[in-house]
Amino acid sequence: MIMLASPLIAMNGEAAEAIAFYEQALEAKVVFKQTFGEIPEPKEPISEEIQKRINHSVLKLGDAEMYVSDKLPGETHSVGNQVTVCLTVDTTEHAQRLFDALKQGGEVHQPLQPIFFSPAYGIVTDKFGVTFYVFTKRPA
């Protein structure tokens, strides 16, 4: 039985920058962050450059969690739609604030606008290549 499904965003050395960006853009709270250099008893020596990369992080977005980490050099990494995140908020103002922050340096695929199932819905890929669907619930 699945207890919790959380998006994991794998970066190629930009995880620390992405975490700082998501703290600002998504109002995320970092509840855990560990670099490769902080791993207890690594199996093999780690270069200074790799020690600075993020091994694992947990960000809280409301009641949800999102993980952001770096791949090790040589691990396969591709930028694009390998991960998409749907952000559901209660107000169009909140949706607009998140959307505006995420589009800085990114690309808007669908402007934030009313649509038949939402008063504010849009799709944006941020400057790290992660696509977000921003969605405002219709009042009950």
Domains, in order of start, for the chain: 1-75 (3.30.720.100), 78-140 (3.10.180.10)
Tell me the CB-side half-sphere exposure of residue 126, using CA atoms within 13 A.
24
Closest CA to 124 of 113, 140, 139, 115: 113
pLDDT given for residue 80 in this prediction: 60
> In the chain, which residues have pLDDT < 50?
1
pLDDT given for residue 3 in this prediction: 59
pLDDT given for residue 30 in this prediction: 98
pTM of the predicted model as reported, rounded to 2 decimal places: 0.78
